[in-house]
Structure 1
């Protein structure tokens, strides 16, 4: 998929990754995709929490379950793994030596937890003033909640997302609903990526590093986007609308005879084409529904009529009819349908990487497409501690005897 001999955008950058689970690893996988040398530091014998978050596990070469949890695989390609007990003085010294060979440190420990090890920003930047250091926490380094642990699900609730996600309270199944993926973690990883790239640009211009304080709650509030802005402008608390739209009708999901579709009729002409395609010309001329404001006002009258109309045809029939009529529409695909979709296949969204124990692991490609420095896909998510000896020998000059001593003390 990618010519790995091509130059990459970040091939001159080394990242020391002290994160685990999702938000931090998602950020560092982005950086690895763009060419950075990412050294993932993990606890000896245990590793990243997500290594045990299975099933499912990737199948091995014989089709049996390997030890590699799919959750771990999703956010750790392109990295090198070392095991290191940072609670020991020897482990802390190794981190300091690695920091001197790195451009970026990223961690997601609790506030001040690394300070007791001398691995906080103040301590490490004293050794390397141009260091870019990123901390990811639930609530940030300041404020009354700073010491709390933050989890995506809780943040989705606290940050307002669940108040606007889910069916209306008065309808069957109504109530708050979390997103289907840990979207706050993922977006925090994306914001961390952006912040680190900006800090690296500043460093290259000035020679000065800096500290990045990223909080899941801050990200969730920012993600409210126009909904948050609407509230700040109007003072009105928004409602949940499920798969409907507060300001446009019809702009929602409908059940067909064999599945569901999305209809997004954004203007009066598209509405008319929708009902004409469905064989209901009377709805196109009904004076109650001629304009969008009328349809919004009378949604509880109109939508049941549209739902009855849509149920009379199959999903495939509707998609073909509405595509021909110029009405924006789409299917609601299961994941097997997603990865079988010709557009998804044409964009090469699925990749395979050779893995030392799992044969070829299937992963989802980065959505970034670049003409000169495309993302690289040449290193599968590493085994626990796979590169410990290599990194400590090549970067820090540790001898075989020194490595054996550290291993005997269970530092690595």
Structure 2
């Protein structure tokens, strides 16, 4: 069936998704969830590589490719490339994450395509950038986590480097690419021209290091692992109550005073070891041990209730199951429902921001490979007999 926009917000835009694995598909999912007509272009089934995130029926693939249409085109065939270019001529956006040289070899680089479609916004996601000494290296999430500095500040002191438990480099690169695309589309409204947008896993990780980079660039401090505790604001981190662990965040002198009073330790407010931020940082191990001793007198529920009532941020450390069953998550409507014609009812996490007038939804489940090939090519004006001839020749 024709495009079913998940939102009216971006429904006027058509996006050609030439990506695979995670970073690129994440970018395109962001656009699809806000209503863009995202057409995923994949190789025919008999030619596909390992690009399906655990198989098309797997939960990962279903989550990443919802709200898209899927076509197959054999890009090793001249007619496949010609058909792709014909499709791109109708599009606002192209997203690709080939190795930097592949798009030039296929003749689907920005310079070539923008000559035909000057308004085209062309987004590339790579491991290390489009140019430079590492541009041709293969990219992978964990490699970027390591080279971007993240693994050096994650984990317990002296534990050795630790990866983050999600593919954060892939996800951030995809989200930043989507943001870049939206900026370029806004700029196009003034100039009438598209442009080349590009980001990489490495750039996304360096950016996400945030205050840790400014600590070095401005203050000359090289951050190290701080474990479950905030590197500069003490006490903020994981603490143990009588029945388990919880997070507590104490920022600023007023919050510190409230924290001490709720914990039954008002004397800490004037204790020279703890009375200001530098003192608490210098004596963090002693302070954290004292806090755990006080917390051990009550269960987590007691402390969460008391601290939050007193204006001190505090919360459980939840499993994925506990998170998705949290009443506040239900209230926020983050879990959406959709029905897959092949797999039946599904529940998936939706977008984390709310637009009241033009909300996002999950309008359709992830498509099967090539499910919409004839539908989309027919929209280009290709007749049915021509389609069947293309299919017989292995073009799709």
Return the TM-score normalized by structure 1.
0.90
* Alignment map for 1:155-170 (pairs within 5 Å): 155-169=144-158
Counterpart CA distance in 2 for 1:77 and 1:111 is 27
Corresponding residue of 2:111: 122
- 1:213 is paired with a residue whose SS is strand
Q: Tell me, yes or no, if the aligned pair for 2:6 and 2:363 is still in contact at 8 Å.
A: no
Q: Tell me, yes or no, if the aligned pair for 1:18 and 1:105 is still in contact at 8 Å.
A: yes
Q: Does 1:226 align with 2:227?
A: no
- 1:376 is paired with a residue whose SS is coil
Q: Does 1:351 align with 2:340?
A: no
Q: Mean alpha-carbon deviation: is it higher for 119-128 or for 97-106?
A: 119-128
Counterpart CA distance in 2 for 1:406 and 1:121 is 26
Taking only aligned residues, the RMSD between alpha carbons, in angstroms, comes to 2.0
Q: Does 1:409 align with 2:389?
A: no
Corresponding residue of 1:62: none
1:48 CA displacement: 7.8
Q: Mean alpha-carbon deviation: is it higher for 262-271 or for 194-203?
A: 262-271
- Render the CA deviation track for 1:105-146: whole Å, top value 9, x for unaligned: 110000111222211112212222221111111111110001
Report the number of matched residues: 392
Corresponding residue of 2:120: 131
Seen in structure 2, the aligned counterparts of structure 1 residues 258 and 81 have a Cα distance that, compared at 3 Å, is same
Q: Does 1:148 align with 2:133?
A: no
Seen in structure 2, the aligned counterparts of structure 1 residues 234 and 270 have a Cα distance that, compared at 3 Å, is closer
Seen in structure 2, the aligned counterparts of structure 1 residues 372 and 134 have a Cα distance that, compared at 3 Å, is same
Counterpart CA distance in 2 for 1:379 and 1:6 is 8
Q: Does 1:399 align with 2:388?
A: no
Counterpart CA distance in 2 for 1:22 and 1:283 is 49
Counterpart CA distance in 1 for 2:5 and 2:388 is 35
Q: Does 1:10 align with 2:19?
A: no
- 2:39 is paired with a residue whose SS is strand
Seen in structure 2, the aligned counterparts of structure 1 residues 324 and 380 have a Cα distance that, compared at 3 Å, is same
The gaps in structure 1 that reach 5 residues or longer are 55-66
Counterpart CA distance in 2 for 1:288 and 1:253 is 21
Counterpart CA distance in 2 for 1:378 and 1:145 is 40
Q: Does 1:76 align with 2:65?
A: yes
1:334 CA displacement: 0.9
Seen in structure 2, the aligned counterparts of structure 1 residues 224 and 52 have a Cα distance that, compared at 3 Å, is closer
- 1:86 is paired with a residue whose SS is coil
Counterpart CA distance in 1 for 2:217 and 2:270 is 38
1:259 CA displacement: 2.2
Corresponding residue of 1:112: 101
